[in-house]
Structure 1
Amino acid sequence: MPSPAVQSAVDVANWFADQARREDLYLQPQKLQRLLYIAQGSYAAMYYGRKLMPATFIADETGPVEPNIFRIFELGRPKVPSVPLPPEIEHFLSRIWRKYCHHATDYINKQIQYHDIYKRAIKRGLNEEIPFEEIVRFFSGMDSERRKAQKKIVTKDGRKLQKWVPGAKATAKPTNRV
């Protein structure tokens, strides 16, 4: 697996905290956690499974949490100097920020609580890890494609329905019933 794009999740969390400060907005700790999770998943989907940052997310009651960042930012932004991020990473994070900064934390929490990967992790138990591979599949859309493939519609007489494709040969011959 290639190395993460950023050395530390603290650098990404600091970037979001600094961005909120520049815009004179209060960044709730839960919202920071959700932005980190969304950024990690979106980056992985965009860059073929590469991690944005070395981070592990666990299932908390309210949504995914990176426990180290939670602990470090528990009492506010730590006195850790901000490290300049590469311009392409700043651009990527700016897009995430613009998309989600105006949403209420509760709204983002509710949206993420519907994610299948979060539901599976929280079903296993509180503080269960959400595997990075599942995050990649979910944000890449492969998780929903797999679910669609597993869905099969069956008629009353037990035949499986399949999507009609023009020019395709029939899979079952019709029976003559009188």
Structure 2
Amino acid sequence: QGQILVLGMSSSEVAGGQIGKASNIDIAEAIVQTLLDELNPRGIYLAVQGCEHLNRALVVERELADKKELEIVNVLPSLHAGGAGQLAAFKYFKDPVEVEFITAQAGLDIGDTSVGMHVKHVQVPIRPILRELGGAHVTALTSRPKLIGGARALYLDDPIRKS
């Protein structure tokens, strides 16, 4: 409840093209809508990362931006600046805004878009069951609290990496 998943996606890669060269709004809408259908009932926020032309800014719900005191930036995505994923987010979110930075608990990367900059430390790779979507490579990561203190420290069980 209240956690954030960052999505980075290249609809071009899913379609079998080169990232940024064959943007496809239908593919992006299908991916964003599917994720929202899964995340919304669980109370998990979706943040959709844009491309480097928007400094990898993210579309989020205004409610999340207000709750986390995220600085809203003034830009509207387009197919080749922000990308199809951000356009889909603007279509399906209730009150979408762009923010420049976020610290999410997890990330989903469809098409090698590099979402790690938006996921908190310590990042833990997840091997998804589906490793390709169309022509796109799929990776995911989650995060866990840092283990600090050295050899004498005691730790809570790590729910991600079980011994």
Q: Under a length normalisation based on structure 2, what TM-score does the superposition of the two structures give?
A: 0.28
Q: Under a length normalisation based on structure 1, what TM-score does the superposition of the two structures give?
A: 0.27
Whichever of the two has the greater Rg, that structure is 1
The structure carrying a bigger strand percent of its residues is 2
